[in-house]
Amino acid sequence: MSKNIANTALNQDVQQLGYDRSQLKSKIVHLGFGAFHRGHQALITHEMLAQEKSDWGIFEINLFGGEALITSLRAQDHQYSVSEMGASNTQVKVITSIVGSLHPELDGKEAVLSKMSEAQVAIVSLTITEKGYCVDLGSSTLDVENALIKADLKTPHAPSSAIGYIVEALRRRKEKNIKAFTVMSCDNVQENGALTKIAVLSFARLLDKNLGQWIEDNVSFPCTMVDRIVPAVTEQTLTQIESDLGVYDPCGIACEPFRQWIIEDNFVNGRPNWNLAGATFVENVIPFEEMKLRMLNGSHSFLAYLGYLGGYKHICDAMQNEAYEKATLALMLNEQAPTLNVPDGVDLEAYAHLLIARFKNPSLKHQTWQIAMDGSQKLPPRMIHSLCVHLKNKSAHKALILGIAAWMRYVSCVDENKISIDVKDPLLETFVGIYKERGLDKSVVKDLLAISSIFPRELLRDEAFVNDLTNAFQLLLTEGAKSAVASLEG
Ligand code: NAI
Ligand code: CS2
């Protein structure tokens, strides 16, 4: 057997917490063993397990991609490492909260459905990216034209989408008289629990009204606000982790030290005491979620599009340009914060400054290209909702306009040096069609604004707004992103 994290002595300063892994059961089934889950929920569960005797283990499932990752995880007894990299210090932690794993491509769909139908499973949690919910964000409804949903409605007993798996597993539980589970979304989706509920219930009702009713009566969908910057791993990160850990860990990830998890306390079948490891249970998550999506993620997308176009590979690189830092702070304080209704005690100015410090962390190589991905799914909660508040109130919103214009410029698939951009987005074909017809010309603005799953229809009718957006787009074409960002000052 080759040397790995589970069978080798690790560097002395690696943190290894002791608890009895043999007591853990697969009570949480997690869909989406990506970077974020490894640095957040699995780690917080691990730290919770070290605080009190409990059997809340996690069982991992990847529905799309990541077969090699699951194979590697199995080869090292489902243990892996997290490197929390601050500006000057790194803490490496070995995570042991995972009890097993499956992948439909490796093990078959039936194995996944059987696992999700087991009686001890009390929570199904999700980090499946924004597009994994298969909803039309414009209307907050299940997207019945989505290819996965269409296919799953035809073969619901052998699904492909996360929604299809959840509904089929719940159907089996209903049939066998097994208690339902809680479905907990941990994605950066506005009102993530409510939206998951809409997707699951709509899909179930299209199949069988009684099943839909049973789910409505027996399943809860808590909303959560999740926060920790966990960039996609690169070979360079894995090399750094190997040196800090003492052995190569193909499942290792690096992230920032900061973490936050606010969870609506609404679980139908019990829950771990994640509060023992820093999570907060509350009655209403929405104000926290909105704050994070607009302040953090809104600024992230702003920096991603303007940063990529300005030639910056990483967020921390763009933050070295003073104009980008100032513009990001101004976006947060002048255009996002005023749209928020935060709970007593939340200091948005301090929050904004903390975010600036987090974005500047030079140890985190978070690619602008990664954050720029799936903009059609990300833009509404991050920028467009706050833009609508400003249009209604007639308040200033020039940074939001530039951020949206930069997204429009980015999805042309060609950068300021005429080099192609590898744009990843479920609506890529639509963007390509628009640019093919119009060329790199400001007339694309109206066509892109007409995409109703991204932009509310009334925006296109607001002449002053369309003018401002077109001017910002034109500025990006003629002057470039760096000058456009600099022009926001004053
Ligand atoms: P990743 O690319 O490492 O993992 C993506 C995961 O989503 C994979 O496990 C994949 O199997 C699954 N997936 C992709 N498309 C899917 C689909 N259509 N249906 C079902 N599953 C699908 O990405 P990462 O970093 O784990 O982020 C995932 C999500 O977590 C983000 O989209 C975001 O909503 C949330 N998040 C990420 C943070 C980060 O800093 N990485 C922080 C906070 C939230
Ligand atoms: C980022 C987020 O990729 C993105 O879109 O904005 O994943 C961000 O890193 C997290 O939400 C931080 O909690």
To test ligand 2's pocket by mutation, which of 259, 301, 371 has the most ligand atoms within 8 angstroms of CB?
371
162 by DSSP, 3-state: which? helix
For tokens 């001017």, the residue is 471
Q: How far is the CA of 229 from the centre of ligand 2 (A)?
A: 6
Measured from the alpha carbon of residue 295, the closest ligand is 2
**Residue identifier of the C-alpha nearest atom 12 of ligand 2:** 229
Round to whole Å and give the CA distance between 304 and 276. 34
For the Cβ of 227 lying below 6 angstroms from any atom of ligand 2, the answer is yes
Q: For every one of its 490 residues, what pLDDT tens digit does the chain have, with 9 covering 90 and above?
A: 789 999 999 999 999 999 999 999 999 999 999 999 999 999 999 999 999 999 999 999 999 999 999 999 999 999 999 999 999 999 999 999 999 999 999 999 999 999 999 999 999 999 999 999 999 988 899 999 999 999 999 999 999 999 999 999 999 999 999 999 999 999 999 999 999 999 999 999 999 999 999 999 999 999 999 999 999 999 999 999 999 999 999 999 999 999 999 999 999 999 999 999 999 999 999 999 999 999 999 999 999 999 999 999 999 999 999 999 999 999 999 999 999 999 889 999 999 999 999 999 999 999 999 999 999 999 999 999 999 999 999 999 999 999 999 999 999 999 999 999 999 999 999 999 999 999 999 999 999 999 999 999 999 999 999 999 999 999 999 999 999 999 998 6
Q: Which atom of ligand 1 is nearest to the CA of 62?
A: 11
Strand blocks (E) in 86-222: 90-95, 98-102, 123-126, 135-136, 141-142, 182-185
Amino acid at 386: S
What's the pLDDT score for residue 256?
98
Nearest to 15 by CA among 232, 246, 229, 239: 246
Q: Which atom of ligand 1 is nearest to the CA of 37?
A: 26
**Residue identifier of the C-alpha nearest atom 4 of ligand 2:** 371
For the Cβ of 264 lying below 6 angstroms from any atom of ligand 1, the answer is no
Q: How does 266-277 read in b/e, with b if 16+ C-beta sit within 10 Å? A: bbbbebbebbeb
For the Cβ of 101 lying below 6 angstroms from any atom of ligand 1, the answer is no
**Residue identifier of the C-alpha nearest atom 6 of ligand 2:** 297
For the Cβ of 133 lying below 6 angstroms from any atom of ligand 1, the answer is no
Helices 348-360 and 298-309 sit at what angle, rounded to 10 degrees?
A: 40
**Residue identifier of the C-alpha nearest atom 8 of ligand 2:** 229
Same fold, 15-282 and 286-487: no
For residue 80, how many C-alpha atoms fall within 13 Å in the half-sphere facing its CB?
A: 29
**15-282 belongs to which CATH class?**
alpha beta
**286-487 belongs to which CATH class?**
mainly alpha
Q: How far is the CA of 297 from the centre of ligand 2 (A)?
A: 6
Q: Which atom of ligand 2 is nearest to the CA of 300?
A: 6
What's the pLDDT score for residue 285?
97
Round to whole Å and give the CA distance between 125 and 42. 11
Task: Give the CA distances from residue 201 to residues 212, 215, 216, 447, in Å, rounded to whole numbers and listed in that order.
Answer: 6, 7, 7, 33
Round to whole Å and give the CA distance between 405 and 398. 10
Measured from the alpha carbon of residue 302, the closest ligand is 2
Give pTM, 2 decimals: 0.97
Q: Which atom of ligand 2 is nearest to the CA of 382?
A: 6
Round to whole Å and give the CA distance between 125 and 32. 9
What's the pLDDT score for residue 490?
64
Domains of the chain, residue spans: 15-282, 286-487
Q: How far is the CA of 230 from the centre of ligand 2 (A)?
A: 8
What's the pLDDT score for residue 437?
98
**Residue identifier of the C-alpha nearest atom 21 of ligand 1:** 128
What's the pLDDT score for residue 200?
98
* DSSP strand pairing (135-136 vs 141-142): antiparallel
